[in-house]
Structure formats: C-alpha cells, structure tokens
Amino acid sequence: MHWPVPNPFTQLANLLGHVDELLSSETGVHGHDEHEIDEIEQAIALKPSYADGYAQLAWILHFAGHPDEGFEAMERAIRLNPRIPAVYRLILGTLHYRLGNSAMAIG
C-alpha cells in the first residue's frame, strides 16, 4: 500500500489557519490550553522564520499564564520582523504590564 507523503506547506497552511481561528475566537482569547500552544509551536517548527507565529505564541502564552515565556517569544518575533507591526506593540505592552513593567508597557 502506498501512503501519500504529507506536503509540509499544506501542513503549515492548515496549522496557521487554525492559529488564526484561535486568536479570533472567544475560546482563543480566554481558554488556552497546552494543545493550542503545541499547535502554534508545530507551525513555528515548520517555518522557524515565521515572526507572526512567535507573536501569536506570545499572546497565547500570556493568556495561559506564562508571561515570561510569552515575552521571550515576543522578543524572537521582533528579532525576525524588526519593523514591529502595531499588533506586536500591543502584545509587547500587554506582556510588560503583566510582568509588572508598567513604564515599559506605556512607553
């Protein structure tokens, strides 16, 4: 029997589509679990230069109660995309605030 070889680009597209659904849904904003984090990490593993994947991971980690890890992911996103889109600033400010760095959160 011949099994088809999975196309990594199709896998990435499917994972990223699911990540976007997570971020736009009520569950994606408030009910994060390890499964969601694993899916985002899988997307990043398929394309390690995907800056927005790290930003999305940072957002999810923040709501999952892991702001330190989220901050690390956000720093990686900024290194990969130094133009710093507005949403990155939102996530970074939120993480600074959560970590008690109020001055950095509004700066």
Task: Note if the pTM is more than 0.75.
Answer: no
pLDDT tens for 24-47 read 554 444 455 688 899 999 999 999
The DSSP line for 36-98 is HHHHHHHHHHH-TT-HHHHHHHHHHHHHTT-HHHHHHHHHHHHHH-TT--HHHHHHHHHHHHH
